[in-house]
Amino acid sequence: MSKDPDKDALKKAWKEQQREKLVASIPMPQADLRALFDFLDREGAPPCDHTLRETIEFLKQRQLDVDRIIPWLHEYGGYCDCEVIFNVDDKFGEIVGR
Ligand SMILES: [Zn+2]
């Protein structure tokens, strides 16, 4: 049951690096990403129609770079509005303070 401190430190450093990579990849202000999650996750949101309709509407309203953000969402498994919540929020929610 002995813990190897070097291994722990390496693991921590690796995790930190992964997190920094994630943070650096976000193609919009973090506050906007958080607002996007909150918007999609709001009470009374329509059921997902298997497109990014709500997401795109939100991005356009905020005049964000849809053409850059959609491929980024795809990269993290967000191919429709509910997947943005399930997959992208799962990875980035904590980073943006959800
Ligand atoms: Zn969906």
Segment 13-27, tens digit of pLDDT: 999 999 999 999 999
Checking if the pLDDT of 53 tops 70, the result is: yes
Q: 17 CA to middle of ligand 1, Å?
A: 30
Position 34 in a domain: yes
Question: Please, are residues 52 and 81 in contact by the beta-carbon 8 Å criterion?
Answer: yes
pLDDT of residue 5: 82
Nearest to 37 by CA among 55, 63, 25: 55
How many folded domains does the chain comprise? 1
Position 72 in a domain: yes
Q: 25 CA to middle of ligand 1, Å?
A: 23
Query: To the nearest whole number, what is the mean pLDDT of the chain?
Result: 95
| Dist. CA 39–CA 22, nearest whole Å | 21
pLDDT of residue 1: 60
Position 41 in a domain: yes
pTM, 2 dp: 0.88
Surrounding ion ligand 1 within 5 Å at CB are 48, 80, 82
Domain housing 19: 5-92
pLDDT of residue 37: 98
Q: 73 CA to middle of ligand 1, Å?
A: 13
pLDDT of residue 73: 98
Position 98 in a domain: no
Q: Using 50, 70 and 90 to split pLDDT, how confident is the model at 57?
A: very high
Position 68 in a domain: yes
Checking if the pLDDT of 44 tops 80, the result is: yes
Checking if the pLDDT of 2 tops 90, the result is: no
Position 97 in a domain: no
pLDDT of residue 41: 97
